[in-house]
Amino acid sequence: MDLSLSTRTVGDRTVVEVGGEIDVYTAPKLREQLVELVNDGNYHLVVDMEGVDFLDSTGLGVLVGGLKRVRAHEGSLRLVCNQERILKIFRITGLTKVFPIHNSVDDAVAATD
């Protein structure tokens, strides 16, 4: 399965809905999307990962890169994920401390620092 990406705006947040597999082959597409959004002035991102079937360290690297970019503009990058097998990857790499992870897009959109 390939990677699917779609974006929409909710208030001052930009929600990126990701589906499929994020791996060494598809991660560059996600990176391009995040870079483009930040370059266009979207600094508060919500990455919805509910439709993600597979995530590896390349994908994690892209998300960390995205976080770095939005933070340079005092922005935020929040994740939406309820899937245990995906959450486990964030836990073993210690990235649960780096990313705010929410149960739903509504929660992520409503969240403030």
Partner 1 sequence: MATVELRFSALPEHVRTARLVAAAVARRAGVDESVLDELRLAVGEACSRAVALHQRNGRDGAVRVALTEQEKRFLIEVADEAGPAHAAGAAGGGGQEDEDALGLAVITGLVEDVEVGHGDDGGVIRMSWTISPASADA
| CA separation for the pair 70, 34 (Å, rounded) | 9
Binding residue for partner 1 (CB under 8 A) from 3, 15, 60, 101?
60
- 93 or 104, CB closer to partner 1? 93
Q: Which of 10, 19, 29, 58 is the binder for partner 1 (CB under 8 A)?
A: 58
> Is 41 one of the binding residues for partner 1 (CB under 8 A)?
no
How many residues are listed for the chain in this entry?
Answer: 113
Do residues 78 and 45 touch, judged by C-beta distance below 8 A? Answer: yes
Does 18 contact partner 1 by CB under 8 A? no
Distance CA(72)–CA(42), nearest Å, equals 12
Structure token digits, residue 48: 């919805």
In the complex, least distance from residue 75 CB atom to partner 1, rounded to whole angstroms: 21
Pairwise CA distance, residues 113 & 111, whole Å: 7
Asked if 85 touches partner 1 (CB under 8 A), the answer is yes
Binding site for partner 1 (CB under 8 A): 21, 23-25, 54, 56-58, 60-61, 85, 89, 92-93
